[in-house]
Amino acid sequence: MPELRKDPVIGRWVIIATERARRPGNFVDPQKNYFVDEEPCPFCHNADQEIYSIKGDDGQWKVKVVASAQPLVKKEVQFNRHGHGLYDVVNSYGVNEIVIETPEHITNMADLDIHQIQHVIEAYKIRFKDIAKEPDLQYALAFKNYGWAAGGRRIGHSRSQIIATSINPLRVKEKLKGAKRHFDYHDRCLYCDLIRQEMSSGKRVVAETEHFIAITPFAPRFPFELTILPKEHHCDFSQGIVGHEEDLAKILKDILSRIKVGLEDPAYNYIIQTAPFNRLKRGDRWQTIKQDYHWHIEVLPRLSLAAGFEKGTGFYICPIPPEDTAEFLREVEV
């Protein structure tokens, strides 16, 4: 029987099509992730654009952050709003950086060693703290596009992006609103409640470390979608991660390896969903965000495509229950 499940945070319904369930092994990325190295590689040779780097004992960079060559948002523009009749336009003020995660031509983060992934996490932390000092920016997002179906370009270095914007994105607003509604009524963090319920049932848990848990969400948007949550409550990634960088690297490598091995190296995205920057003008509201929001990472293998029904309704259709995908990923040998 297909069923509709409600996302407990933002209230969006997802159709879990249990009867047309394809078996987990049937999901293989129909568009293979082909990567073509450009010559000369633009990520091996762009030291002049360096914003930040972590260096080894030999003085060579291990992780390097550079400005995007094709930024979606820019710092060099004056923030400006205007209209055309019924229509509204603002220019796209913000920051767009590329995190080059390895000096070698390794394409999938799953193949980096834990210490290298830990350096990437440290780079996010440092850049988030630095970007937060810009008074006109409200939000910073770190995310990865791996493979064609995830929007990734085909170049040899594993890498991710940081984008900071002058407005809070809609999806972040929805999550903050859902978390606040729960806290206002229960006086408890919604995500802390979810972690307790998931750990006690166990059926959607894929992996666990000392400080983190990885689950398949109850109402996923995509087959094999995962959420990595810190067990300890913190709204902000760059503050909450301090001291736990290596442990996050451990669970991230574990999850990405299970996806790579079990699903035959599919395209995927991951997205760090942290709280908006603490701005004085929002004062008291940030006090409530501190207690009711809980940072986390969404990991989205890209094995299915939204069709007309999903575009027309806003429903998502997930062709396999998350309990089955969790079981499948738990049993992958990595």
Q: Which is nearer to a copy of itself, 194 or 229 (CB)?
A: 194
Q: How many residues bind a copy of itself, per CB under 8 A?
A: 74
Which of 40, 60, 86, 242 contacts a copy of itself by CB under 8 A?
86
**Whose structure tokens read 């002049």?**
48
SS3 assignment, position 53: strand
User: Binding of a copy of itself at residue 199 (CB under 8 A)?
Assistant: no
Work out which of 28, 104, 305, 331 binds a copy of itself, going by CB under 8 A: 305
* Window 151 to 170, contacts with a copy of itself (CB under 8 A): 151-152, 161, 163, 165, 167, 169-170
Q: Encoding tokens for residue 34?
A: 């082909």
Q: Interaction with a copy of itself in 243-302: which residues (CB under 8 A)?
A: 269-271, 273, 298, 300, 302
User: Interface with a copy of itself includes 176 (CB under 8 A)?
Assistant: no
Binding part of the chain for a copy of itself, among 4-12, 111-119, 285-293, 325-333 by CB under 8 A, reads 4-12
Would you say the C-alpha torsion 302, 305, 309, 314 has a positive or negative sign? positive
How far is the C-alpha of 189 from the C-alpha of 182, rounded, in Å?
A: 7
Fill in the amino acid letter for 257: S
42 or 71: CB nearest a copy of itself: 71
Q: How far is CA 48 from CA 65, 68, 97, 272, in A?
A: 11, 13, 14, 28
Instruction: Write out the binding residues for a copy of itself, residues 35-74 only, by CB under 8 A.
Output: 70-74
- In the numeric block, the tokens 């992958």 are attached to 332
Nearest residue (CB) to a copy of itself, 218 versus 293: 218
Q: Read out DSSP for 153-198? A: ---SS-EEEEEEESS--HHHHHHHHHHHHHHHHHSS-HHHHHHHHH
CB-side exposure of 53: number of CA atoms within 13 Å?
Answer: 18
Q: Of residues 113-132, which lie at the interface with a copy of itself (CB under 8 A)? A: none
The Cα–Cα gap between 143 and 180 comes to: 25
3-state secondary structure of 22: coil
From the CB of 219, what's the least distance to a copy of itself, in Å?
Answer: 7
> Which one of the spans 16-24, 57-65, 115-123, 207-215 is the region binding a copy of itself (CB under 8 A)?
16-24
Q: For residue 160, list its beta bridge partners.
A: 99
Among residue numbers 208 through 237, which ones bind a copy of itself (CB under 8 A)? 218-219
Q: Is 5 in the site for a copy of itself (CB under 8 A)?
A: yes
